[in-house]
Amino acid sequence: MNGADALLATLVANGVTACFANPGTSEMQFVAALDRQPDMRPVLCLFEGVATGAADGYGRMADRPACTLLHLGPGYANGAANLHNARRAHTPIVNVIGDHATYHRHYDAPLTSDIAALARPNSLWVKSADSPDTVAGLAAEAVAASFGPPGGPVSLILPADSAWLETGSGPVIAQKPMRPTPSGEAVDAAARAIRAATRPVVLLGGQACRAEGLAQAARLSLVGVRVMTDTFVARQPRGAGVFPAAKMPYFGELALQELAGADLMVYAGTTQPVAFFAYPDRPSVLLPEGCTALTLAGRAEDAVAGLAALADALGAPREGPTQVLALPDAPAGRLTAYAVGASIARHMPEGAIVCDDMVTSGTGVTANTGGARPHEVLALTGGAIGIGLPLAVGAAVACPDRKVLALSGDGSAMYTIQALWTLARENLDVTVVIFANNSYRILNVEMTRTGAGDAGPQAARLLGLGEPDIDWVSLAKGLGVAAVRCATAEAFDKAFEGAMAQRGPMLIAAAI
Amino acid sequence: MNGADALLATLVANGVTACFANPGTSEMQFVAALDRQPDMRPVLCLFEGVATGAADGYGRMADRPACTLLHLGPGYANGAANLHNARRAHTPIVNVIGDHATYHRHYDAPLTSDIAALARPNSLWVKSADSPDTVAGLAAEAVAASFGPPGGPVSLILPADSAWLETGSGPVIAQKPMRPTPSGEAVDAAARAIRAATRPVVLLGGQACRAEGLAQAARLSLVGVRVMTDTFVARQPRGAGVFPAAKMPYFGELALQELAGADLMVYAGTTQPVAFFAYPDRPSVLLPEGCTALTLAGRAEDAVAGLAALADALGAPREGPTQVLALPDAPAGRLTAYAVGASIARHMPEGAIVCDDMVTSGTGVTANTGGARPHEVLALTGGAIGIGLPLAVGAAVACPDRKVLALSGDGSAMYTIQALWTLARENLDVTVVIFANNSYRILNVEMTRTGAGDAGPQAARLLGLGEPDIDWVSLAKGLGVAAVRCATAEAFDKAFEGAMAQRGPMLIAAAI
């Protein structure tokens, strides 16, 4: 076997069985080795940002890494924005980045660049396998490192000669690291502080927002604790049967309004809440004056165990409240984000996976989906828009029996629109909803907030997506996905109901 | 004025008058300031890779930098692949990368990342303007640094508070650095070595491949010197009236075959030729055995002056040979890259700018365009495909009175397909030709060359772009560009002739 075979054998032996790829010449040995390793599923993406976003969606749903296959520095860089999001989501991902043969690097051929330097800011771990005999061991190390805790993308650089040369090394098994349990002292301190506080808040993030964490946090809500979650959570169950924790508002002044009077904030799986952006004369830290903060469980710790122990210590009942099923009426009239949300709530099947890149449309949709059938939401954790469709690719590969929704702003979707082609190629069961307002609408809001005033004619050209309006139906058809445009709530409701009743990719442009 | 005003005033005062932008919240002050600075033309791109590739095309044609406006680390990263190409093209570009307010950075908000670390591998110069009073001075420093020599992208990080706070500093003028002239000793040494050699070659790169350099090199061809150029040149005139220098072949073994017997290679504006990729048992360095190499002018030196002095020293005539106009007959029958090349040669107007991201189709096209009306070719200098359409955006903004052609493989075009929308928005006079072979065809070639064997079923799925075939006409229509698909040489010839006769963007899918 050659180095590429050793790599694939190790990845598969460690449960890495999906590869989101956009290969080039330096990756041809890896590509060829795929034919000798049928347990690895290769998924071609026509742009690397789709591959990395898909690996993020896959990792969030599978709780194990997919690998990406990327072409030297530029291929990695094309995927870096969605790896930034994955780093913030703490999603395990193993990037395999092809490189020139070791002896060719110093000639500074056109594609040469400092791959490790490019990869480092968004990788927990970066190493180069500079001989074929090191490939398997480093691949196992990479998988282990991707789990953190709390996990994230790692980058294994694979020089072409390390892939093509023979090696005797077999697959190496990685040890998956455990999350340490919070100490008894931390639990006791939190319990004491909560008992002493007038208006205590527990803020959940990361792993604490998964089903088990929410179930424990729900118990706390019965003993006088306000439970909130981070604004952007990698994966969170929602809808009927799930504890409906409040979300920290995106805008800092709204968050502080929500938190008014809170005198204690306990962190479980997260850290101090901060404003997404700074604005003149507005605070960066979202803790009210005089509010004490303490950590029950950091991001790397077992927040679920911490929450359970805290609930026990506070004598909370064994079970907390959950959301009841409450489906909205059929929407009518003008199509708005609220109307879209109503339709989604009405028709989305149990177990649906919602990939949220909605930006300004999120508020309206989310307001109407809280009582829907149980589903899970994957949010934009790092602020780099263009993740909704790629996340859906990966979630659908990880969970072929669940309906996946990609809900995306029009501006967001355009960053990684190539994802539509992969949906078609793999016939993934994904319904894409594009909120077509022909605008980077969030920026119109933000422009005022930053004190920059209203947009004049030059500025307006950078905030609007019209002239020309994007024809989403043609665009989707061009990439092999059936599509329809809806301009009324009734039309959207019908189209969305139809999409839920069929399998395979479909796009609905919601002209809001 | 605030920091954003100071930045724009300095950029404009230094001749930076085009801004290829994809802004976010942290860039809103810059956007607002555009309304107070009408001499800066903002061009919205729906993806940052379009913005950076456009800045490359603009810089190659204008010989001065455009600026880009990018949103923190992820926005920069999205543009990094085409900045890799621009670095290899030595194109002056000033990236303006928005960042969080200085006091907000350490809170590690979701969009926080190490921007400088991300930018460094593809930037000649990276600095952050951490107070409004430093903005103008650093902007001038950035412009100067972008000129090199030999030039390239630079990155100015602009924290939001440095943009919104007031400053008294006015615009600062940058000093454009000069290229040093090669020494008399270097010229004499080259002349002596050429006289002593049996088969001397002069290899041109960068600035030496521009009109003035080619004219001097043509003189050398009359005194027994073989003149060749680098395989991938940032900007090179071609066609009638231009000296037709041979190009170093892409594949190393072909290059060595071409160079067989050469006993001297003199570099003008370039360095030692190396293989694009390494392959088992093939050489990395493309110098024949026993061939001596010496440098007349490095990339940073004035290679044109060096070539002129060398031609004088060798007693070459004042004028060298040039290509005569030789237009092919109308192609007929099956549509091939050769047929496309014939049509391009027949109908392309004088002064056309050809942005080449053709990959495997390049050989056929180029074989037929050598005798066309004088035109200029902008090549893919860094190997990161997805530059053809963005280059065309920038070239058309820089040269509104010249016809621009974007010739792109289908796989290449998909990386930055968002460029079509900007062509439509700005009504740029660009004809896009897509070579639709539904394949990363180059990879089928490369797979064999790397010794990986033929593609089996899994590998083949990563090399083919079919299933589904991209419908280029729908895709272009979706983004506002009129398009037609041609499946015969006759149809293509007619469509291309029509495109040359009209103004504004148009796409032709060549089903080769």
Residue range(s) occupied by CATH 3.40.50.1220 in chain A:
184-313
Q: Which residue has the tokens 């990685």?
A: A174
Query: Is some CB atom of chain A closer than 8 A to the CB atom of B453?
Result: yes
Contact B274 A473 (CB under 8 A): no
Average pLDDT, chain B: 97
Q: Which of residues 374-433 of A touch B (CB under 8 A)?
A: 381-384, 386, 411, 414-415, 417-418, 421, 424-425
pLDDT band at B88 (very low <50, low <70, confident <90, very high): very high
What CA–CA distance (Å, rounded) separates B307 from B291? 20
The shortest C-alpha distance from A379 to chain B (Å) reads 12
Q: What is the pLDDT of residue B474?
A: 98
- A275–B104: do the CB atoms touch at under 8 Å? yes
Note if the pTM is more than 0.95. Answer: yes
- Mean confidence (pLDDT) of chain A: 97
- Is A26 close to B277, i.e. CB distance below 8 A? yes
What's the average model confidence in pLDDT over B312-323? 98
Q: Is B17 an interface residue toward A (CB < 8 Å)?
A: no
**DSSP string for B414-444:** HHTTTHHHHHHHTT--EEEEEE--SB-HHHH
Across the interface, which of B42, B75, B77 has its CB nearest the CB of A461?
Answer: B42
- When pLDDT is averaged across residues B311-329 and rounded to a whole number, the result is 98
Q: How are beta strands A264-268 and A292-297 bridged, if at all?
A: parallel
The mean per-residue pLDDT over the stretch A366-377 comes to 98
d(CA B59, CA A318): 67
Residues of A in Cβ contact (< 8 Å) with B103: 278, 284
User: Which band of pLDDT confidence, cut at 50, 70 and 90, is reported for residue A449?
Assistant: confident
Span B233-238, average pLDDT: 98
CB atoms under 10 Å from CB of A220, counted, come to: 24
The CATH architecture assigned to B184-313 reads: 3-Layer(aba) Sandwich (3.40)
Locate tokens 């496309």: which residue? B340
Tell whether B282 lies on the interface with A, counting CB pairs under 8 A.
Answer: no
B482 interface with A at CB cutoff 8 Å: no
- CB contact (8 A) between residue A100 and residue B278: yes
Q: Closest Cα of chain B to A168: distance in Å? A: 18
Q: What is the 3-state secondary structure (H, E, C) of B212-278?
A: HHHHHHHHHHHHCCEEEECCCCCCEEECCCCCCCEECCCCHHHHHHHCCCCCEEEEECCCCCECCCC
**Rg, Å, chain A Cα set:** 23
To the nearest whole angstrom, how far is the Cα of A219 from the nearest Cα of chain B? 29
B365 contacts: CB under 8 Å, gap ≥ 6 = B337, B338, B340, B341, B344, B358, B407
| Rounded Cα distance, A80 and A386, in Å | 12
pLDDT for res B202: 98
Q: Which of B40, B45, B46 to mutate to test the interface with A (most CBs of A within 10 A)?
A: B46
> Is pLDDT above 90 for A243?
yes
Q: Note whether A280 contacts B458, CB cutoff 8 Å.
A: no
Q: Which pair of structure tokens corresponds to residue B231? A: 């395989």
A-B CB pairs within 8 A amount to 324
Exposed/middle/buried for residue A457 (C-beta within 10 Å: 0-12, 13-18, 19+): exposed
pLDDT of residue A349: 98
Q: Which pLDDT band, with edges at 50, 70 and 90, does B452 fall under? A: confident
- Region A341-361: mean pLDDT is 97
| Residue B164 to residue A458, Cβ atoms within 8 A | no
Q: Which CATH class is domain A337-510?
A: alpha beta
Q: What residue type is A236 in one-letter code? A: Q
**Mind spelling out the 3-state secondary structure of A199-263?**
CEEEEECHHHHCHHHHHHHHHHHHHCCEEEECCCCCCEEECCCCCCCEECCCCHHHHHHHCCCCC
User: A168 CB near a chain B CB, below 8 Å?
Assistant: no
Between chains, do A471 and B480 touch, taking CB under 8 Å as contact?
Answer: yes
Q: What percent of chain B clears pLDDT 90, i.e. is strictly above it? A: 96
Asked if B131 is an interface residue toward chain A (Cβ–Cβ < 8 A), one would say no
The closest CB to that of A478, out of B40, B49, B474, belongs to: B474
What pLDDT, on the 0 to 100 scale, is given for residue B451? 82
- Give backbone dihedrals phi and psi of A296, rounded to 5 degrees, phi first: -80, -50
pLDDT of res. B289: 94
Closest residue on chain A to B78 (Cα): A78
Mean pLDDT of B243-269: 96
Give residue-wise pLDDT tens across range B340-374.
999 999 999 999 999 999 999 999 999 999 999 99
**Residues of chain B numbered 86-115 and touching chain A (CB < 8 Å):** 88, 100-101, 103-104, 107-111, 113-114
DSSP string, B171-221: --PPPPPPPPPPPHHHHHHHHHHHHH-SSEEEEE-GGGGSHHHHHHHHHHG
| Assigned CATH for B3-164 | 3.40.50.970
Residue A491 pLDDT exceeds 90: yes
Q: Residue B317: pLDDT above 90?
A: yes
In chain B, residues under CATH classification 3.40.50.970 are 3-164, 337-510
Backbone φ/ψ region at B334: left (φ over 0), alpha (ψ -120 to 50), beta = beta
Question: Given an 8 Å threshold on Cβ–Cβ distance, is B468 in contact with A446?
Answer: no
> Mean pLDDT throughout B157-178?
95
* A1 C-beta neighbours (distance < 10 Å), count: 18
Going through B287-374 in order, the beta strands assigned E by DSSP cover 292-297, 352-357
Read off the pLDDT of each residue in A354-362 and give the average, rounded to a whole number.
96
In the predicted model, is pLDDT for residue A170 greater than 90?
no
Q: Which chain A residues are closer than 8 Å to B411 by Cβ?
A: 46
Q: Which amino acid is at B147?
A: F
Closest partner CB to A109 (pick from B274, B451, B469): B274
Residue A26 confidence class, pLDDT cut points 50, 70, 90: very high
Query: Bridge-partner residues for A166, per DSSP?
Result: A2
Find the mean pLDDT for residues B233-241: 98
Report, as an integer, the average pLDDT of A140-145. Answer: 98
Contacting residues of A for B357, CB less than 8 Å apart: none
Task: List pLDDT tens digits, range B16-51.
Answer: 999 999 999 999 999 999 999 999 999 999 999 999
Nearest-angstrom CA–CA distance, A471 and A477: 10
Nearest to A417 by CA among A471, A359, A475: A475
Give the number of residues written for chain B.
512
